[in-house]
Amino acid sequence: MAVQAPTGSDPALSASPWWQQDAQVCWHPYTQHGLDPQPLAVVGARGAWLELADGQRMLDAISSWWACLHGHGNHRLVAAAAAQAARLDHVLFAGCTHEPAVNLATDLVRVAAPMAGGGHSLQRVFYSDNGSTAVEVALKAAYQYWVRQGEPQRTRFIALDGGYHGDTFGAMAVGEPHPFFHEFAPFLFEVVRVPPSAEALQQALQANAGQVAALIVEPLVQGAAGMVMHPASFLQDARRLCDEHGALLIADEVLTGFGRTGSVFACEKAGICPDLMALAKGLTGGMLPLAVTMASEEIYQAFHSPQRERAFFHGHTFTANPIGCAIGHASLALLHEQQTPARLDRIGAWIEARLRARLGEASGVRRCGGIVAVEPSEDSAYLAAGGEELRQACRGLKRVLLRPLGNVLYAMPPACLEESEALLVADAMVEVLTQTATP
Ligand SMILES: Cc1ncc(COP(=O)(O)O)c(C=O)c1O
């Protein structure tokens, strides 16, 4: 059979600009194509700014889904990617290894070292390629750890109300069912859900004594729930209670990792160390898809055996892709040199101060590091009626890209922002809130 020419060379289609062809051939994530307008046509990006096909520039105030850490097109990351692509683009990571993967794993173990304490530390790095799979790996490793320990009855996971851990089946199961996942209920394993309170967690652990494999949390900030924040003391209680009940603690730092909360990791800020930790997004500074699940040596050793069937049978084609790993190594060097967590914290403080100055102290602005959120009403449900209005007002902005979570408006910009740019973001948030305010 003859191979069809790519559609780009179809004269009928290529008569229109490429961004108009989008509607014919693309299916976008978390998009209702029956409602949402044509997507922004982005042709370039530098620093905090996206360059659109019509010549307009927009400040990426949400770091392109919370990933872009230092700014777009960072020359150190671009150089690392180019040099690595020319040397070794990809090789399977089963039975092979390479320097970028070893370098990045060594970096990660080093940056996680300050969290060690209370008999816990993260010593091993398992690579995958997105946040959801990093969570899947953590869930599978946690359960199989217990199987290897002779406790296969530990089949239950505890998760936080409103949690979001990704869109694959295990990640959906531990995530809040509404509004995204409830239709998949017949396929999802049962999860015990608790609010972020020590009492509720203790009760859940007691009620399921000896049956809990792990508690999974988004530490300090529950992103998709609407940048919902809980105090560090909850994480300290969670660590203690998991230890007391013999359950593992999984930290999903896919969003919070790499400085977003003002510390390298949210768990570090809370002074605790999890048994498993999922990282993605900022791992490559937001440039390429790469993820890791870090694990304690004890968990790794539970799989280490002369018996092949005790191995961890999980892997993805692009596990530890060398280009991603080289970028990750360069990104961590930048994070260290530029004190990225402190920078993000400062940017968050600028935005918070401006919002408070313009909206008043009672406006309910909340902040954790470089993440600043405000909600115009009590109802923060993702599909809340007010959320639609907020979404539309954000789309009307000319210079700042904001994308609300339901009724929650938030900013999480990259670390390269100048103060004037941070104020621009805050002013855009005020503009949106003013437009949608009910008289
Ligand atoms: C806390 C958390 N975990 C997991 C994920 C899933 O990551 P990915 O979209 O890379 O699969 C996300 C994505 O936003 C997240 O915020």
Q: In sequence order, what are the residues at sequence separation of 6 or more whose Cβ sits closer than 8 angstroms to the Cβ of residue 192?
A: 156, 157, 158, 159, 204, 207, 208, 212
DSSP 106-128: HHHHHHHGGG-BTTB---EEEEE
Q: What is the pLDDT of residue 228?
A: 97
Burial annotation 295-315 (CB, 10 A radius, 16+ → b, else e): bbebbbebbeeeeeeeebeee
Considering 237, 252, 275, 345, which one is annotated as catalytic?
252
Contact 129/291 with Cβ under 8 angstroms? yes
**Ligand 1 atom with minimal separation from the 281 CA:** 10
Give me the sign of the Cα torsion angle 99, 104, 109, 114: positive
Q: What is the pLDDT of residue 375?
A: 87
**Does the beta carbon of 284 sit less than 6 angstroms from any atom of ligand 1?**
no
Q: How far apart are CA 414 and CA 411, in angstroms?
A: 10
**Does the beta carbon of 254 sit less than 6 angstroms from any atom of ligand 1?**
yes
Average pLDDT of span 411-436: 96
**Ligand 1 atom with minimal separation from the 65 CA:** 14
CA of 344 to the centre of ligand 1 (A): 20
pLDDT in tens, 315-370: 999 999 999 999 999 999 999 999 999 999 999 999 999 999 999 988 899 999 99
**Ligand 1 atom with minimal separation from the 222 CA:** 1
Choose the residue to mutate in 30, 129, 165, 253 for probing ligand 1, maximizing ligand atoms within 8 Å of C-beta: 165
Residue 38 burial by Cβ neighbours in a 10 Å radius (0-12, 13-18, 19+): exposed
User: Hey, which residues does 249 pair with through a beta bridge?
Assistant: 215
| Confidence band for 47, pLDDT divided at 50, 70 and 90 | very high
Q: How far apart are CA 331 and CA 405, in angstroms?
A: 28
**Does the beta carbon of 172 sit less than 6 angstroms from any atom of ligand 1?**
no
CA of 135 to the centre of ligand 1 (A): 9
Query: What is the chain's percent helix, strand, coil content, to nearest 5?
Result: 45, 15, 40
Angle CA(46)–CA(423)–CA(377) in degrees, nearest 5?
Answer: 110
Q: How far apart are CA 397 and CA 356, in angstroms?
A: 21
Residue with tokens 């920078």: 343
| Confidence band for 62, pLDDT divided at 50, 70 and 90 | very high
**Does the beta carbon of 255 sit less than 6 angstroms from any atom of ligand 1?**
yes
Q: What is the pLDDT of residue 172?
A: 98
**Does the beta carbon of 257 sit less than 6 angstroms from any atom of ligand 1?**
no
Choose the residue to mutate in 255, 256, 260, 318 for probing ligand 1, maximizing ligand atoms within 8 Å of C-beta: 255
Q: How far apart are CA 218 and CA 227, in angstroms?
A: 10
pLDDT in tens, 70-124: 999 999 999 999 999 999 999 999 999 999 999 999 999 999 999 999 999 999 9
Whose Cα sits closest to atom 13 in ligand 1? 166
**Is 36 a known active-site residue?**
no
Considering 127, 143, 145, 164, which one is annotated as catalytic?
164
Secondary structure, 3-state, 265-332: CHHHHHCCCCCEEEECHHHHCCCCCCEEEEECHHHHHHHCCCCHHHCCCCCCCCCCCHHHHHHHHHHH
Considering 281, 345, 382, 410, which one is annotated as catalytic?
281
Whose Cα sits closest to atom 3 in ligand 1? 165
Average pLDDT of span 283-287: 98
Choose the residue to mutate in 66, 132, 136, 260 for probing ligand 1, maximizing ligand atoms within 8 Å of C-beta: 132
Q: What is the pLDDT of residue 387?
A: 85
Burial annotation 126-164 (CB, 10 A radius, 16+ → b, else e): bbbbbbbbbbbbbbebbbbbbebeeeeebebbbbbebbb
**Is 345 a known active-site residue?**
no
Q: What is the pLDDT of residue 16?
A: 86
Asked whether the predicted pLDDT for residue 378 surpasses 80, the reply is no
CA of 435 to the centre of ligand 1 (A): 30
From residue 152, alpha-carbon distances to 145, 147, 171, 203, 375 in Å are 9, 4, 20, 22, 44
Residue 26 tokens, joined: 């693309």
Q: How far apart are CA 124 and CA 119, in angstroms?
A: 15
pLDDT in tens, 225-274: 999 999 999 999 999 999 999 999 999 999 999 999 999 999 999 999 99
Considering 10, 30, 36, 89, which one is annotated as catalytic?
30
Average pLDDT of span 373-381: 73
**Is 382 a known active-site residue?**
no
CA of 197 to the centre of ligand 1 (A): 23
Q: How far apart are CA 12 and CA 29, in angstroms?
A: 27
- In 10 A of CB 231, how many CB atoms? 11
Q: In sequence order, what are the residues at sequence separation of 6 or more whose Cβ sits closer than 8 angstroms to the Cβ of residue 55?
A: none
pLDDT in tens, 120-153: 999 999 999 999 999 999 999 999 999 999 999 9
Q: What is the pLDDT of residue 1?
A: 61
DSSP label of 409: E
**Is 281 a known active-site residue?**
yes
**Does the beta carbon of 256 sit less than 6 angstroms from any atom of ligand 1?**
no
- In 10 A of CB 75, how many CB atoms? 8
Q: What is the pLDDT of residue 162?
A: 97
Q: What is the pLDDT of residue 383?
A: 63
Phi, psi of 372, rounded to the nearest 5 degrees: -125, 130
Domains along the chain with CATH numbers? 17-70+342-436 (3.90.1150.10), 79-337 (3.40.640.10)
CA of 401 to the centre of ligand 1 (A): 20
